[in-house]
Amino acid sequence: MPRLDASARGVFIIAATPFTEDGRLDLAATDRLIEFYLEQGVDGMTILGMMGEAPKLTEEEARTFALHVLGRVDARVPVVVGVSAPGFASMRALGSVVMDAGAAGLMVQPPAVSARGDDAVLGYCRMVAETLGEATPWVLQDFPLVASVPMSALLIQRIVAACPNAVMLKHEDWPGLDKLSAVRDAEAEGARRISILTGNGGIFLPFELARGADGAMTGFAYPEMLVEVCRLFARGESEAMLDLFDRYLPLVRYEQQPGLGLAVRKYVLWRRGALACPATRDPAPKLTEASRAELDWLMRRLERSLEHQRKESVA
């Protein structure tokens, strides 16, 4: 499998980690989920991200899951593996196993406890770059809402300059549009170009593309929307892009609830037949009856809206 590089673009779906009702890893359900994602046309896959409930797996489970996914995907698309960990020993161990098994690259979010202030974040990233090894491309995750590590455009530039194997930014700052522009502006003035895929459920995706993002790396439960938005943007059809995006926005917004969002995603994926079971592992907030009813309502409204659109485009 070719390794990730700065030319990566499109939709790298953040894959859910399927569990059985009683909380065990469900590898059979994983196969079905992978095929679902591929059928929606994703360009890549990212596993063991926060949405993948990575921190709740034992290291053995993480390894088992990653190797299973790599085997099933079988190089049809590149697979990025999240290896964020409190210590480098775990990061190195998981990273080397999955790279040997064909992963395209790794992903790391610097943790607040080890990275307080720009210099400390930079120092941490240097150690990540060295720990993973110069031949291993990695994605710098920038998710301050959860990680509490602010990174300015200037800091990102410094990291990119110091770490030749950092080839992609998973951009999910909020607000983040002007920062994205600032990273691209710096590249226009000579900084090394990296791929930028954006997160946050895609809630700003159309604007992020216009600001210079190369696509999305997020786990919204309707990956086909993310894919189509990227295609429409590439074709220059901005109004059609927003027309499509806005139909899904009520669900994107509902999914974009810190902590609860993962249960929302899994529920929708389950309702869509992509997951055998919507269970999340404890500790995790659960969907109440009321939330499920709201989601059912939003899904019905989306279907109606898409139906309406189909009829209009036929007529």
Single out the segment in contact with a copy of itself by CB under 8 A; choices: 6-14, 100-108, 268-276, 289-297.
Answer: 289-297
Is 224 one of the binding residues for a copy of itself (CB under 8 A)? Answer: no
**Residues in Cβ contact with 152 at an 8 Å cutoff, skipping those fewer than 6 apart:** 118, 179
Is 57 one of the binding residues for a copy of itself (CB under 8 A)? Answer: yes
| Whether the Cβ atoms of residue 52 and residue 16 lie closer than 8 Å to each other | yes
Single out the segment in contact with a copy of itself by CB under 8 A; choices: 97-105, 113-121, 268-276, 306-314.
Answer: 113-121
Burial classification of residue 249, based on how many CB atoms lie within 10 Å of its CB (0-12 exposed, 13-18 middle, 19 or more buried):
middle
Site for a copy of itself in 248-267 (CB under 8 A): 249-250, 253, 257-260
Is 40 one of the binding residues for a copy of itself (CB under 8 A)? Answer: no
Coil, strand, or helix at residue 53?
coil
| CA dihedral (207, 218, 11, 107) positive or negative | positive
Nearer to a copy of itself, 43 or 142 (CB): 142
When binding is defined by CB under 8 A, the residue of 188, 290, 314, 315 that contacts a copy of itself is: 290
Please tell me the distance from the alpha carbon of residue 52 to that of residue 14, in angstroms, as a whole number: 7
- For residue 114, what is the DSSP state? G
Is 64 one of the binding residues for a copy of itself (CB under 8 A)? Answer: no
* CA distance readout (Å), 137 to 4, 96, 122, 171, 194: 6, 12, 17, 17, 11
- At its nearest, how many Å lie between a copy of itself and the CB of residue 39? 28
| Whether the Cβ atoms of residue 112 and residue 147 lie closer than 8 Å to each other | yes
Burial classification of residue 175, based on how many CB atoms lie within 10 Å of its CB (0-12 exposed, 13-18 middle, 19 or more buried):
exposed
Nearer to a copy of itself, 2 or 189 (CB): 189
Single out the segment in contact with a copy of itself by CB under 8 A; choices: 26-34, 190-198, 221-229, 278-286.
Answer: 278-286
Buried residues in 17-43 as b, exposed as e (16+ CB within 10 A): bbbeeeeebbeebbeebbebbbebbbb
Is 88 one of the binding residues for a copy of itself (CB under 8 A)? Answer: yes
Single out the segment in contact with a copy of itself by CB under 8 A; choices: 7-15, 28-36, 132-140, 170-178.
Answer: 170-178
- Binding residues for a copy of itself (CB under 8 A): 23, 53, 55-61, 86-90, 93, 113-120, 123-124, 127, 144, 146, 150-155, 174-175, 177-178, 181, 203-204, 207, 210-211, 239, 242, 246, 249-250, 253, 257-260, 281-285, 288, 290-291, 294, 301
